Chains A and B, each alone.
Chain A
């Protein structure tokens, strides 16, 4: 079962490598000490948050401001973790507290779209361990490569995180017409929140509000097609 989880997570782990390497490169070019960059990947293990934090550190933001912004960037994990709990009903509290550390946008997508009702412990453990190892070792590799990388390649690598999100989203909407409607709605809301002169929200807030509002609206008004959820 552990190996089944490892196998399922392998493409994610391999996909993490260029992103983690990018993170190492970007963070060291921002002047953060090598040990601290690797420590951040070890302790935080969250791609989007770490990129945002490096941006903020580079722009000279205060400690409290950085931590509060990261909190808002992470609020979406409350929703993801809540979704994950549906698939992990029969696990002990201590175990859940441990594996929750490994819930990322990617492992969450795999768990949430698994057709099984209840997921085995060893499977989930395998699923989160491999990407974690890839994330930390990729970061270290990026730090080592550091600034010897040509600037043009360095800036091209920043698309990696988004390419991964797109790669997770497309299979979702291919399977379900109702999810495509939610995507349309979410893009509309986040554009409105980002560009309308009436709001002045940080990126973290925009992500959280968009996710909440579009999922509540969809749960109320959009029928689930071709799936047994919520019928």
Chain B
């Protein structure tokens, strides 16, 4: 493919990524929110993270079962309060091990 093909995609991606990030931050910082909308925003992080994880994680490796094992290892490490790097590396190691064995 020509470089211009990738350039157009990257510039387009940069725009549709930047605008949703920028707009509410610049506009909403003026507003006082009601209790309902504050609760709504309070619940956004767990809701968005859950939607990002599931069911997308099932397609992360060739085998859904191994992907879930990787997720469970990450969850256990996170529960035991390990830092993000240890969590990520443990999950990669677990998936690698299971893929190697099976």
Contact = CB atoms under 8 A, between A and B. Distances in A.
Given A168-B49, A186-B47, A91 B29 contact: yes
A218 B47 contact: yes
B10 interface: yes
A135 B56 CA distance: 22
A16 B39 CA distance: 29
Contact of B36 (A45, A79, A96, A230): A230
Contacts of A40: 6, 10, 13
Contacts, number: 308
A169 B53 contact: yes
Interface residues of B, number: 75
A16 to B, nearest CB: 9
* Interface majority SS (helix, strand, loop, mixed), chain B: helix
By Cβ-Cβ distance, the 8 closest A-B pairs, closest first, are A15-B84, A163-B91, A170-B78, A230-B39, A186-B50, A156-B96, A67-B12, A210-B51
B15 to A, nearest CB: 8
A216 B46 CA distance: 13
Contacts of A137: none
Interface of A: 11-12, 14-15, 17-19, 31-33, 35-36, 39-40, 43-46, 48-50, 53, 57, 63, 66-68, 70-71, 74-86, 88-89, 91, 93, 96-97, 99-101, 103, 105-106, 108-109, 112-113, 152-153, 155-174, 178-180, 182-183, 185-187, 189-191, 194-195, 203, 206-207, 210-211, 214-216, 218-220, 222, 224, 227, 229-231
A86 B38 contact: yes
19 contacts: A15-B87, A79-B41, A82-B44, A86-B33, A96-B29, A99-B25, A105-B52, A106-B84, A109-B45, A112-B44, A162-B91, A165-B49, A172-B45, A182-B47, A183-B46, A191-B54, A214-B43, A215-B40, A227-B42
Given A63-B9, A165-B49, 9 more contacts: A49-B13, A71-B16, A78-B23, A79-B24, A159-B91, A164-B88, A169-B46, A182-B50, A187-B50
A106 B81 CA distance: 16
B59 to A, nearest CB: 9
Interface in B82-96: 83-85, 87-93, 95-96
A185 to B, nearest CB: 8
A197 B52 CA distance: 21
